Structure 1
Amino acid sequence: MTLTASQAILGKQKRERILQGAMQLFFRDGYAGTSMDRVASEAGVSKQTIYSYFHDKESLFKALIEQITIARFHTLFESEQLQGEPDQLLRQVAETYLLRVAEDQEYLSLLKVIIAESSRFPEMAKLYYQTVIQRGRQLLSQYFDAHPELGIQDSEATAHIFFGSLVSFVVVQEIMHGKEIMPLSSERLVDSLIDLIHSSS
């Protein structure tokens, strides 16, 4: 059976309503404290309707991770490889990540849930790692390999240091209240990371 345009739009709107309802519950009550029954109530749909879009709670949470993360980093991760002059490209990657994350309450709330529940639900942390960190590290590693003039001996480790520093900056400054205790500007971090790359050459 082929869906009409209006049916497709309604289906997309209903899926979005489910995701929005689930997001409120996951962020407020955590992964363990959220049930499909409560998501159905929050979204104003039947549980059967939720299962027509998502197989289980894990697939619902995965869709939420993808929606929140991929949309924000689409311009970075849409291509098969990163391109541009090293200084400009590295600054763009760093600033895009930091600007789209540090002041994004949805993203920070998602990150808090993943960190809080990672020991009980390691698959959630793995999903986040694969969606954001692994993809960023792979693209950056490939970029370093394509630019031997940078003199980087271990492209994977260097990409991990670069991208991992961005993630840890957000966690420490925004989630662990580092900006209140020992603030560090994102500009200083980015400048130092680029200097580290240059010191390899």
Structure 2
Amino acid sequence: MVQFFMEMPIKNFRDERRERIISVARSVFYEVGYAGASMSMISARLGGSKATLYAYFNSKEDLFEAIIREQCGQMADLILAHTGSDDLRASLSLMGRELLTAVMSDEAIRTFQLVIEESYRNPQLAEMFHNVIQSQGRSNLTGLLQAAHDKGQIDAPNVLEATMVLKTLIFGDCHFKRLMNLKSHPTEAQLHRQIDLAIDVFMTYYGREADKAS
């Protein structure tokens, strides 16, 4: 027990240090791009030695993966919070607004853009990005819909297909336009309108008869 309390400040310090490294690295990536960033540049921005940086991350690839995992983890948590809800339509509507707000944020959009910019030179980066999205965000959305199917709230025998349909409806074309810098973040009214329409379409197709009529 004494050892546990003695280790807590060290662990907290390491966590804070790691978060600061990720934050600084994110700023560097956004400023100069993935190809232009280097561990030396990130270390200089941190104001410490390279040895300290390498104690946490072996490469800029590891650092960028940590940024992606952090962002995807936050989105995955949004989905997980609504899994198993008794009011599926209300939960999907709220989750949809939260998820769309997250993926349309400046940080999320810039990360997407960096991966797209680098994908031809570094296809492994795009593959890693896709795998993280699959293992965190999409798997949680599949879990939510599987739980809803098991509870009889929706009829989705092909839950993977239903996941793809719901994600596409939620993102709409506004996410694509945002990636292309053709659209700013939607207003609250626009966001609600898009998600309400998306969930209505989804539930019209997948919802049980009683819920379709609601």
Range class of TM-score, shorter chain:
0.7 to 0.9
Tell me the residue number matched to 1:91: 93
Match of 2:138 among 131, 134, 139: 134
Tell me the residue number matched to 1:189: 194
Matches within 5 A, 1:145-156: 145-156=149-160
Tell me the residue number matched to 2:112: 111
The answer to whether the 8 A contact 2:149-2:155 is kept is no
Q: Name structure 1 gaps, 5 residues minimum.
A: none
Query: How far has the Cα of 1:65 moved from its partner?
Result: 1.2
Query: How far has the Cα of 1:147 moved from its partner?
Result: 4.2
TM-score (norm 1): 0.80
Cα distance change of structure 1 residues 179 and 60 upon mapping to structure 2, 3 Å threshold:
closer
Match of 1:165 among 162, 166, 169: 169
Distance 1:170 1:95 in 2: 13
Q: Secondary structure at the match of 1:32?
A: helix
Q: Secondary structure at the match of 1:150?
A: coil
The answer to whether the 8 A contact 1:69-1:107 is kept is no
Match of 1:40 among 35, 40, 43: 43
TM-score (norm 2): 0.76
Tell me the residue number matched to 1:62: 65
Query: How far has the Cα of 1:27 moved from its partner?
Result: 0.9
Taking only aligned residues, the RMSD between alpha carbons, in angstroms, comes to: 3.0
Cα distance change of structure 1 residues 89 and 131 upon mapping to structure 2, 3 Å threshold:
farther
Matches within 5 A, 1:4-83: 4-77=7-80, 81-83=83-85
Query: How far has the Cα of 1:162 moved from its partner?
Result: 1.0
The answer to whether the 8 A contact 1:54-1:60 is kept is yes
Q: Name structure 2 gaps, 5 residues minimum.
A: 209-214
Tell me the residue number matched to 1:122: 123
Which one-letter code corresponds to 1:95 in the other structure?
Answer: R
The answer to whether the 8 A contact 1:70-1:131 is kept is no
Distance 1:126 1:83 in 2: 33
Cα distance change of structure 1 residues 192 and 154 upon mapping to structure 2, 3 Å threshold:
farther
Query: How far has the Cα of 1:176 moved from its partner?
Result: 2.0
Deviations 1:28-61 (A, max 9, x none): 1222211111111111122221111112222111
Cα distance change of structure 1 residues 92 and 84 upon mapping to structure 2, 3 Å threshold:
farther
The answer to whether the 8 A contact 1:94-1:166 is kept is yes
Q: Secondary structure at the match of 2:36?
A: coil
The answer to whether the 8 A contact 2:154-2:203 is kept is yes
Distance 1:118 1:70 in 2: 22
Which one-letter code corresponds to 1:118 in the other structure?
Answer: S
Q: Size of the alignment, in residue pairs?
A: 197
Percent of aligned pairs sharing the same letter:
22
Query: How far has the Cα of 1:168 moved from its partner?
Result: 5.2
